[in-house]
Amino acid sequence: MAYLAIYRKYRPVSFDKLIGQQHIVRTLTNQIKFDRVSHAYLFTGTRGTGKTSAARIFARAINCLHPVDGNPCNECVVCKELVKQNSMDIVEIDAASNNGVDAIRDLREKVGYMPSVGKYKVYIIDEVHMLTDSAYNALLKTLEEPPKHVVFILCTTEVQKMPATILSRCLRFDFKLVGIDELNSLMSGILDDVGVEYTKEAVNAVAAAGEGSVRDALSVLDRCVAFAEGKLEYNDVLQILGATDKNKIYQLAEAIFTRDVAGVLELVDSIAKSGKSISVLAKDIAVYIRDMLICQKCQNPKQILTLPEDIYQKLVEQSQKYDQNRLLFALDVFNKVEAELRYAIDPRVTFEVACLKVANDDRDEKIVLLERRLAQIEKNGVLPRQTKAVMPEQTNEQIHNKDYAQGRMVWARVLKQVRNSDSFVLSSACQDMDNMYVCDGDFVLVVNEAQHVLLTQTHHNKTLGDIVFAESKLNLKLVKTAEKRSTVQDDLKDLQHLIGKDKLKIV
Ligand SMILES: [Zn+2]
């Protein structure tokens, strides 16, 4: 099948075809019917919700010779003229482009000219929040005293960035995210129209991928139509989206909730090897856990989820096995990790830590279970031999604030740099450290008295701090251990023995 560019072909040409924004359409068409057109409009909302389409329709409707119920007829000479790309009377300015300032200056010069065919000249300024201050000022002057024949439609995805002086002069419309049912019927309508067969589950997956944006959903649909051979199936859509096979996700969830650490690591490995992106995987597992919660809590999950029968059955069965609190905790962790992944140095390890965090949600010794993976990363034996975690006594609440797993990951990287630094003192001081965590933007290292002395008196804590910052963008904080396992003197003597009497003097 030839490439269709569905987004272009099915761009709405009248308000009737604009989906999901009935509240806006009603007001706009009424303004046309009762001839109460304003001079400045602000259309705001997420990308792909129809702002520019609505602006173009509105621009034709207010000029149309025979408007039908507030819609442009799209037949008269004016409509036909205005629909042309280079129409003089509808000027589209992209404020995000480099020549935004020039375009506004040009606008000020030409705004006095009468429209060439219709009653109004319409300026549509896209991404208006991107205008520079000087461009805003120029625009403001025009908005203050607009000629009678001019209408401005300002479109933006980030209304909070707009100056109040502009906002106060515009009639504002907030475009909503489009509901999945509306996206669903739009998609099926288009597929019927182009003559492609489909399953209900496939179309639902396309609509869900749009996440409220018509443009995004149509772009997925475009790729699906080009990809599918014959009937469009659920699995075709997953493949287009680069999403993970639901059976694999099912297995991963099972491994996580049965606390099968080895299973988790093996599955992540096999999914990563199949070329799936870790961030898509994180999203997929979050959606899956949300679906589990829907199965547990909702009256008619089947209708809400629209999944293929076999996948649905497995999901229901699985969701009944696990406690709601565990699922909520998991959802929370995976939602957060999605954001963290954007900045992660090693996304895969970050994701694995998240999985293990969930797997060990009611145990304190999470860290111990990370050792297997850490050993894998640190192939050259950078980690000290004894990696037994010594946890101070604390309440569960405190454990939640301190991220030991993350601390461990950072430490593994830091230690590698310390070994490379050729500083014997630093490297000795860092030996056998096994209590570290991340807390409130700090990387906290719990040190014994001797390690503390060694790091601070030799100013190696500064070097270590730099390394920590370079590896993790966190600040180093040294905390002396509360442990009274051995005396300070003992520790110091051990160290002296280790690095030599000439390098460390006990006073
Ligand atoms: Zn017309």
pLDDT in tens, 368-401: 444 444 444 444 444 333 333 334 444 444 445 7
**79 C-alpha to ligand 1 centroid (Å):** 4
pLDDT tens-digit profile of 85-115? 778 899 999 888 866 778 888 888 888 899 9
Expressed in angstroms and rounded, the spacing between residue 390 Cα and the centre of ligand 1 is 78
% of the chain at pLDDT higher than 70: 86
Averaged confidence pLDDT in the chain: 83
Task: Kindly give the distance from the C-alpha atom of residue 47 to the centroid of ligand 1, in angstroms, as a whole number.
Answer: 28
d(CA 507, CA 505): 6
Based on the number of CB atoms within 10 Å of its own CB, is 342 exposed (0-12), middle (13-18) or buried (19 or more)?
A: exposed
| Cα–ligand 1 centroid distance for 187 (angstroms) | 28
- Quote the ligand 1 centre to 82 CA distance (angstroms): 9
pLDDT of residue 404: 79
Question: Between 98 and 14, where is the model more confident?
Answer: 14
SS3 of 255, please?
A: helix
Ligand 1 centroid vs 71 CA: distance in angstroms?
A: 8
Q: For position 496, what pLDDT does the model report?
A: 58
Spatial distance between the Cα atoms of 458 and 403, rounded to a whole number of angstroms? 29
Share of the chain above pLDDT 90, in %: 38
How many whole angstroms from 51 Cα to the centroid of ligand 1? 21
Residue 390 to residue 122: CA distance in whole angstroms: 70
Least confident among 16-25, 30-39, 482-491: 482-491
Q: 64 C-alpha to center of ligand 1: Å?
A: 4
Q: Are the beta carbons of 121 and 148 closer than 8 angstroms?
A: no
Ligand 1 centre from 112 Cα, in Å? 24
252 burial via Cβ count (<10 Å: 0-12, 13-18, 19+): buried
Q: What is the pTM of this model?
A: 0.62
pLDDT in tens, 272-303: 888 888 988 999 999 999 999 999 988 888 88
**Residue 192 contacts residue 227 (beta carbons within 8 Å):** no
> Which of these ranges, 164-168, 185-189, 454-458, has the smallest mean pLDDT?
454-458
Q: How far apart are CA 454 and CA 316, in angstroms?
A: 57
Calpha distance 18→69 (Å, rounded): 15
Q: What is the mean pLDDT of residues 390-419?
A: 68
User: CA-to-CA distance for 75 and 67, rounded, in angstroms?
Assistant: 10
Kindly compute the dihedral angle of the four CA atoms of residues 354, 471, 280, 367, in this order, to the nearest 10 degrees: -10
Q: How far, in Å, from the CA of 150 to the mean position of ligand 1?
A: 18
Whole-angstrom distance, CA of residue 387 vs CA of residue 436: 12
Distance CA 313, CA 298 (A): 15
Residue 30's pLDDT band, with cuts at 50, 70 and 90, is very high
Q: For residue 59, report the distance from its CA to the centre of ligand 1, in Å.
A: 11
Is residue 316 within 8 Å of residue 308, measured between CB atoms? no
> Distance from the CA of 56 to the center of ligand 1, in angstroms?
13
pLDDT for 344 equals 79
Phi first, then psi: give them for residue 56, nearest 5 degrees: -65, -40
Instruction: Give me 45's structure tokens.
Output: 């909302």
Would you place residue 438 in the very low, low, confident or very high pLDDT band (cuts 50, 70, 90)? confident
Instruction: Give the model's pLDDT for residue 367.
Output: 45
- Better-scored residue on pLDDT, 407 or 60: 60
Check residue 502 and give its pLDDT: 61
The answer on pLDDT for 341 being more than 80 is: yes
Token reading at 69: 């119920």
User: Residues within 5 Å of ion ligand 1 by Cβ?
Assistant: 64, 72-73, 76, 79
Q: For the chain, list the domains and their CATH numbers.
A: 21-174 (3.40.50.300), 180-241 (1.10.8.60), 246-366 (1.20.272.10), 378-382+400-499 (3.30.300)
323 — pLDDT class (breaks 50, 70, 90): confident
Quote the ligand 1 centre to 80 CA distance (angstroms).
7
Is the pLDDT assigned to residue 491 strictly greater than 60?
no
pLDDT at 99: 67
pLDDT for 226 beyond 70: yes
Question: CA of 28: how far to CAs of 65, 255, 494, in Å?
Answer: 17, 54, 81
Taking the alpha carbons of 181, 187, 188, 190 in that order, is the dihedral positive or negative?
positive
For the stretch 393-401, contacts whose Cβ atoms lie closer than 8 Å and that sit 24 or more positions apart, written own/partner, are 396/364, 399/364, 401/439, 401/440
**If you count them, how many residues does the chain have?**
507
b/e per residue, 350-361, with b = 16+ CB within 10 A?
bbbbbbbbbbbb
State the Cα–Cα distance between residues 178 and 214, nearest whole angstrom.
7
More confident residue, 340 or 396: 340
pLDDT confidence of residue 368? 44
| Crossing angle (nearest 10°) for helices 278-297 and 324-340 | 160
- What value does the mean pLDDT take over residues 121-131? 93
**How close is the Cα of 58 to the center of ligand 1, in Å?**
11
Q: Given its phi and psi angles, is residue 381 left (phi above 0), alpha (psi -120 to 50 degrees) or beta?
A: left
**Confidence category of residue 493, pLDDT binned at 50, 70, 90:** low
Q: Is 8 exposed, middle or buried (0-12, 13-18, 19+ CB in 10 A)?
A: exposed
* Cβ-based neighbour number of residue 413 at 10 Å: 20
Q: Who has greater pLDDT, 494 or 44?
A: 44
